[in-house]
Chain A
Amino acid sequence: EVQLVQSGGGLVQPGGSLKLSCAASGFTFNSFWMNWVRQAPGKGLEWVASISQDGSDKYYVESVRGRFTSSRDNARKSVHLQVNSLRADDTAVYYCVVARGIQAFDIWGQGTLVTVSS
């Protein structure tokens, strides 16, 4: 079965850190860019980060640049998002997503909630 299964997330204080993880199965993981998209409560979708097939290229939305770091382990078919210096406006459900060659995100993880609050 083609799927992305996420883990990590939770409640963290402002300034804190978390590591979000995403395990892929059912497709050739090392052939595709992997991405993170988030959704603040009651809001729309926002692209957060992308990482290339071999991890050498990474892009981030401006609001998280310098605080978030994406990485991947192709041997374990997993991708990670290290989120540091968290702020209240980072509170959101974070989705791991992949676009498998059709210029659209065709597979989504189930999402993981990150809540930043004191």
Chain B
Amino acid sequence: EVVLTQSPATLSLSPGERATLSCRASQSVSSSIAWYQQKPGQAPRLLIYQISNRATGIPARFSGSGSETDVTLTISSLEPEDFAVYHCQQRTNWPPYTFGQGTKLEIK
């Protein structure tokens, strides 16, 4: 089973700052990494798929990059609505699909 490790667990930043979130896989997951944003009481929302492709309607300040084992989600300039929990996920070696444990992006 592929284990995804996200870091940091919590990231404290101010609006306007740049956020960099990491997701490391225990083995190669090809290009199947996706990122989701989740706000309290809501279902997750797809942000990025296949490492670097933005989902429909996702603002350009969100970008994804990386390799088959180390991927990064970058938010270029934080807006107030970006403070949430972010999850990475892989589906190359499934079942099972696996998720990271999440990174909480909080207002500093």
Contact = CB atoms under 8 A, between A and B. Distances in A.
Contacts of B91: 99, 103-104
A1 interface: no
Counting chain B residues whose Cβ lies within 8 A of the other chain, the interface size class is 20 to 34
A113 to B, nearest CB: 11
A47 B49 contact: no
A47 B99 contact: yes
Contact of A104 (B43, B89, B96, B98): B89
Contacts, number: 65
Given A103-B49, A105-B34, A106-B49, A59 B95 contact: yes
B55 interface: yes
Interface in B35-79: 36, 43-46, 49-50, 53, 55-56
Counting chain A residues whose Cβ lies within 8 A of the other chain, the interface size class is 20 to 34
A108 B44 contact: yes
A39 B51 CA distance: 23
Contacts of A47: 94-99
Nearest to A58: B95
16 contacts: A44-B99, A45-B44, A47-B94, A47-B95, A47-B96, A50-B95, A59-B94, A60-B95, A102-B55, A103-B91, A104-B46, A104-B50, A105-B46, A105-B89, A106-B46, A108-B44
